[in-house]
Amino acid sequence: MSTLVDDRKLAVLRAIVEDYVSTNEPVGSKALTERHSLGVSPATIRNDMAVLEEQGYITQPHTSAGRVPTDKGYRLFVDRLSQIKPLSAAEKRAIESFLQGAVDLDDVVTRTVRLLAQLTRQVAVVQYPTLSSSTVRHIELVPLTERRVMLVLITNTGRVDQRVIELPEAVDENRIAHLRALLNASLDGCDLNKVPDNVADLPDRVPAEDRPVAAMVLSVLLEALVERHDEKIVFAGAANLAAADFSVGLREVLEALEEQVVLMRLLGETSDSKALTVRIGSEVPYTGLRGTSIVAAGYGSGDKQLARLGVLGPTRMDYPVTMGAVRAVARYVSQILAAS
């Protein structure tokens, strides 16, 4: 088969995908001739459609003359996209303004998932940065009263945890300042999952009278790490599924979305890099999601990926638009985390 024929059939497939995504109706050769400038006769288009069907890229859902793309057809369409649709200048400004208003990591994640759902009209999924990929940026101990201090843990991902600690005895500000200095000297830049090891001997490095206070502060610090949002995924836009059509039932899709482990694996089993990845229909390894496609990308600080985000929707989705939105939002979130 010559390159010219390959390109022509690809153009026919592209037209079928675009029309089917737009209309949700099987596409016939007459419609292709009327809507697209393919430069060939209707008879040639019919022949090309027959070959595409024989090769498994399109199928005839019922006895009408129309064809719809298969998972294999969508895959070829995505793999051979000439470009991902860029966002408009207005969309870029809106994304930047919306995300830059975030006050901490929780706010960044909440805003990101809402934004993705609005931009793509699909279900948006955002994974929190994992414990193993976060480091301590700073620890603050703020005296509130003689027997109460506030512990503030700030990570490189912009997350801020605050805990009020009831001390076993009255402690002056100088003793608190000394403990704060020791904590930051021990933990500055430390991976969060290594914090317990790095502070294990800290009570032995303070005066004997301060050891009960140090032990209390460390207990609350470690408790804060245990309760972090590791392995947590949030999603938004489930209402968008009501307007979608799935080869599996909507109930199965909703049940799968409720399973955090499933969503974690879906995002985690894509690439480990920040590259954009697309899984289509039968490529999704969960029966309840076989009628869906997943577009995901990594986000992080600098060159380091911290977590992933993406959208889930029916295989009949606007891939160029969805891929452009996911890629753009991942980049903006990375910029915000790098600057925080």
CA-based nearest residue to 114, from 122, 258, 289, 87:
122
SS3 per-residue string spanning 18-77: HHHHHHCCCECHHHHHHHCCCCCCHHHHHHHHHHHHHCCCEECCCCCCCEEECHHHHHHH
Q: What is the pLDDT of residue 303?
A: 66
Going by the DSSP 8-state scheme, the letter that residue 275 receives in this structure is -
105, with CB counted inside 10 A (0-12, 13-18, 19+), is buried
Q: How far is CA 64 from CA 29, 52, 60, 252, in A?
A: 12, 17, 7, 29
Distance CA 212, CA 276 (A): 50
Q: How far apart are CA 235 and CA 110, in angstroms?
A: 9
Q: What is the pLDDT of residue 3?
A: 38
Whose structure tokens read 């079928």? 16
CA distance 111 to 100: 10
Angle between helical axes of 250-257 and 260-268 (0-180°, round to 10): 80
The whole-angstrom separation of Cα 119 and Cα 125 is 13
**Rg over CA atoms, the chain:** 26
Q: Which two tokens stand for residue 284?
A: 């999704």
Give me the pLDDT at residue 2, please.
Answer: 38
Distance CA(236)–CA(289), nearest Å, equals 17
Fold (CATH) for 132-226: Enolase-like; domain 1 (3.30.390)
Domain 89-130+231-339 - what CATH class? alpha beta
Cα angle: 289, vertex 292, 293; to 5 degrees: 125
Q: Per the structure block, which two tokens stand in for 241?
A: 């599924």
| Alpha carbons within 13 A on the beta-carbon side of 142 | 10
Backbone φ/ψ region at 29: left (φ over 0), alpha (ψ -120 to 50), beta: alpha
**C-alpha to C-alpha distance for 49 and 59, rounded to whole angstroms:** 9
What is the per-residue pLDDT for 335?
Answer: 86
Q: Say if strands 277-280 and 233-236 run parallel, antiparallel, or are unpaired.
A: unpaired
Task: Write the single-letter amino acid at 31.
Answer: A
Q: Return d(Cα 162, Cα 148) in angstroms, integer.
A: 13
Beta strands in the chain (DSSP E): 58-59, 68-69, 123-127, 136-145, 148-155, 160-166, 233-236, 277-280, 292-301, 304-314
Positions in the chain short of pLDDT 70: 1-5, 130-133, 158, 226-231, 243-249, 260-261, 264, 268-274, 302-305, 340
Span 120-163, pLDDT tens digits = 999 999 988 765 667 888 899 999 998 999 998 888 776 777 88
Phi then psi for residue 189, to 5 deg, are 80, 5
For residue 20, give both structure tokens.
Answer: 């089917």
Which pLDDT value is given to residue 15? Answer: 94
For 2, other C-beta atoms within 10 Å of its C-beta total: 7
How far apart CA 309 and CA 115 sit, in angstroms, is 12
Domain boundaries, the chain: 3-70, 89-130+231-339, 132-226
Model pLDDT, residue 197: 85
Class of domain 3-70: mainly alpha
